[in-house]
Amino acid sequence: MAKTNSKKNNTPITFDYDVIIIGTGPGGEGAAMNLAKHQKKVAIIERYHEVGGGCTHWGTIPSKALRQSVSRLIEYNANPLFSQNNQSKQLTFQDILSHASAVIRKQVNLRSGFYHRNHVEHISGEASFIDKNTINILRPDGSTEIITAEKIVIATGSRPYRPADIDFKHPRVYDSDSILSLSHAPNHVIIYGAGVIGSEYASIFRGLGVKVDLINTRDRLLSFLDAEMSDSLSYHLWNNGVVIRHGEQIESVEATDDAVVVHLDSGKKMRADLLLFANGRTGNTADLNLPAAGLKADGRGQLKVNSGYQTEVDNIYAVGDVIGYPSLASAAFDQGRIAALSMLDNTSNAQLIVDIPTGIYTIPEISSVGKTEQELTEAKIPYEVGRAQFKHLARAQISNNLVGSLKILFHRETKEILGIHCFGENAAEIIHIGQAIMQQKNGGNTIEYFVETTFNYPTMAEAFRVAALNGLNRLF
């Protein structure tokens, strides 16, 4: 039993656990593992029948597994060694789902082992607050259990936003979770929402030869990216046959047995085999009975936290998608780890790195770290640009992955690297080389590192040397 002292009479209060964590996604896992390593008694609650959270079962893992299969299919069909006699290979969405399912099983087994080996008790059921230290668990068999803890972590993740006026029960209307249960092969898909999820699925479906209409509610794709990267993605999707409509809003959706018709505010009508609604996400807090713990979520189901991920109730912490930005699986794990450190030591100064890398798994993928050209220009920071085109790299020519580029932004005077942006195959892997240099202190972060260092040849990493030389040649 975990114990703490009552503020009134200094008598010990006995709890069942030191910490209860709600949710087994990356945020919950990060907190659980760190607390367990510090000999805390931890329970983690998961309402789904397997651990891993949305990241493993509906989000990051399955979508990236799908993308990998489609990317290899495209590569196969584009390679003259394999596409002799013009007989290209075809796959359906159902064909590639089997690979995703296999990856999910491996991830579940791996993560279940983590909890078992570290003596974290895994409880199946739906959690809700009775008070700030007490959790009610509704078990899958309908029974209930009440457990208590000194501290509680909310790591319940998020779910796709579903407007009330769209019938998501109709077999032609999907969100990014339910699309994984698609049982037929569509010829034409409308994707509403051109954010990260919408853009990734546009690449996946188009790679399978499906007609894709991508409706963007904004005036450009992924506007948080460096404009050059955003433009590259827009061009590549357009060049591969994706029809992108910018600045549009859905007015209504008409779903029938034969098709789905999307009516836009602009008066346009679009018809396809199915609609994938991918416009926004909501924090999973509605079923937690937050008022009983003294908490209230905002309109998007998200909770406010301080730098140590502590909510307005001092013994309750929150991490991952349920707190909003940056809504990345990588960041969520670190948030859980940092929240655990805050619980162990309230003077802890641990925090996320400033420059968090982003990976967007379109085809080709995009990855960035640091500032964009637009941000540097607005801040009036004198920067220069170094570029490397993948088509000029021997490794890219060997692998026939010629689409893409690497861009390094650096300070003209100090040569400090300010931002790195990559578009192309394996961009999310390549970016970490530059990220590692950006994290160096005491003058170690300069673009000259890439000129002075010998790279393996031929490699994609050589793009950093090529881009560095290109940038330094621009200085005068």
Annotated binding site: 46-55
- 12-15 and 2-5: which strand pairing? antiparallel
Place of tokens 């140590």: 308
- Kindly report the length of the chain: 476
First to last CA, the chain: 68
Place of tokens 């809504």: 327
Cβ-based neighbours of 95, under 8 Å, separated by 6 or more: 69
d(CA 128, CA 41): 20
d(CA 243, CA 291): 45
Numbered residues of the known binding site for FAD: 46-55
- 281-283 and 158-160: which strand pairing? antiparallel
| Number of C-beta neighbours around residue 188 at 10 A | 16
- 144-154 and 316-318: which strand pairing? parallel
DSSP 3-state of 437? helix
d(CA 323, CA 331): 12
Q: What angle do CA 250, 253, 259 make, to 5 degrees?
A: 130
